[in-house]
Structure 1
Amino acid sequence: MKENYLVSGFFVFFLIFASQSGIGGLGSSNAVFTYSGQDAWISVLILGLSLHLIIWIIYKMLSNPAKDIIDLHQMIFGRFLGNTFSLLIIGYYFTSALYVFRTYIDIVQVWIFPSMRTWELAVLFICLIYYLISGGFRVLTGLALFSTVTAFLLFSLIYFPIKLGNLNYLMPVWNHTVPELLKASKVSYGAFIGFEALLVYFPFIKSVEKQAKWAHLGILINTLQFVALTISSLLYYSQGLLRNTLYPLLGITKIIEFEFVERIELIFIFCWLIMFIPSLCISIWSCTRILKRVTPLKPRASLVWILTIFFIIVVQFNDKFKVDALGKFTINIGIYFVFAYIPLLFILYLIQNKRKANLNVV
């Protein structure tokens, strides 16, 4: 990898944070509160902390020397079968991007432009996505930095629901069984989706073996952020209202008032655009990167094809039921990919390394 394509290990924090801060805080499923009620924040905390193990596994597999998931697949399964698995992984990143993209469009249609058609918003955003991804990975890294700063600024707004909240809504603590908490953790994965792109952009990080702390810090800060957002929702809404409220966090923003602006939720939604774009762009960039590695397609050509297919599929999700079904499907395959496939790869990686060590001894 050429030096001018690399980014400092410090920027992994921003890449991880921005990848997860996309649509999760706004579009998290009400099923989290349905399964675990006032203990929903515990479920979010459990899932966030468990991702540190996945980050550790990724760094163990891809460090020394730095490689990506394509190299890992080829090392474990051979060139042909490994490239086949890598092409299948494109489907996961594509679906993740589709989930983030369509959920944000749904939010815009519900709260701002209810009469605007899906294809109109899709064309507008896809032009922006093409422009950003064409700039390369370093441009996306800078965008992630800007997104993180925006997220920290918006996060301060949770002061208002906490100030007006009812602490009794959090009681009693740990009033649900472990299976119920784990079910809620599973459906809350939508808030954390996106960090898996680390498997693809791993070789773009300088001195990567020494920079794992920044990836862990990104996961930790995001976990604490989502826990705080969950608690603020629990403090403000009663359980019955919370389970039937679409996008609770946006509902909270309606109580925020400033002398110089009346509809703060509109500004909030457009600011969230800055936060959702990096997650979306990094996922689509991962698709183009894999195609470049395993096929003769050039990135710009593959980007045009991917975005064309992306647009065709997006406009098919033209009602809320289809959007919800897409969200459930994406969360399910995300859970299996992160907590089943990545650990399985790690086991096969250890077996492969042990076999090579034995051959070297012989």
Structure 2
Amino acid sequence: MLHDTMAESTGLQLELSEEMRMLQELARDFARKEILPRADEYDRSGEWPWDIFHKAREVGLVNMNIPEEYGGLGANVLEECLVAEELAYACSGIQTALMLNQLAVLPLLLAGSDEQKKRYFPRLVDEGKIMSYCMTEPDAGSDVAGIKTTATRKGDSYILNGAKTWITDAPVASFFTVFAKTDPEGGHKGMSCFIVERDYPGVSVSKPLEKMGQHAAQAAMVFFEEVEVPASNLVGREGDGFMLAMQVFDRSRPPVAAAATGVARRALDEAVKYAGERTAFGQPIAQFQGVGFMLADMRIRVEAARALAWKAAWLADQGRRNTLEAAIAKAFCADAAMQNTLDAVQVFGGNGYSREYPVEKLMRDAKIYQIYEGTTQIQKAIIVRELYRDARRGSQ
């Protein structure tokens, strides 16, 4: 297992271990050699990147958080962040497709039984299967507790009915972690989580949904019609689904924030290069204050974004509550990616609006970071809630 040598004295010390630096370099090299040259191809075709996935699996850059005993790397959240930033720098769509298993297995890592882990983890690691995370529904996105999919106990099984939408990797997934209401009247306490296999009768998946960006990370609707799920596929206890989902977010949001940082960094690099080469009025446009200050702001966002993502990840790895820090990182990094890509298009001028230049794709890819894993507005609502939670603690 890779270990984090970060230590806390007067504060967070941002120093990576030698193993972490090696992992970061591995991910950077893979991204530059295997992903970057083909990013435009997959953006245009919308195909799922199976060949890149299997190459990444061979070198240990997918299924990272699966424990070593099941064939994974046993990586912690910060290590996931290091890889996410480097892969997303090359193509956030391919990065999302490749690393989605790490989101989908989190419920099992947090609450799954040994038997469930033994049954499913090796199939992901050794066989290269894909698992998708099924939470969002047509009428329930930000309102997680508002899901309508039901799971009704019947003997040794649950009967699953409902529909999920915008499920990343669903078109290629063999397994799903599905959140459903076992007690429709129970509110937050009525939700549970299940492992559902694609070949169970009654499971169907739509064709990939058309979307603005991250085309390689195909998303689809998933339908459940009288699907019989063995009771042994219940993850954790009945009624624990909402709390489990919240625990998942605390561990999944830092790598998403790190991936957004990778997009922001790529936008900066492209803008710096272009502004240094493009001339106007007899000098590189970077020499004009209006452009130069824009580049400086882009760099500030990248540095701040990375620090916030790493802090949220580090807290999770220390077993400490990171709900506030994960929300801050997700909100800031998503906005940083969006603003940096907008600024990069502006630096490129008319060329930035053309698909012949990379920043057009970066801008399309960046927008989703302000939406999935909880919108920026939801993150701010969490931050406000945590502010008053801390205030109440301080008054006691």
Give the number of the structure whose residues are more often helix, by fraction.
1
Q: Same fold (TM over 0.5)?
A: no
Task: Say which structure, 1 or 2, has more relative contact order (CA 8 Å, 6+ apart).
Answer: 1
TM-score under structure 1 normalisation?
Answer: 0.28
Judging by fraction of residues, say which structure has more strand. Answer: 2
TM-score of the two chains, using structure 2 as the length reference: 0.26
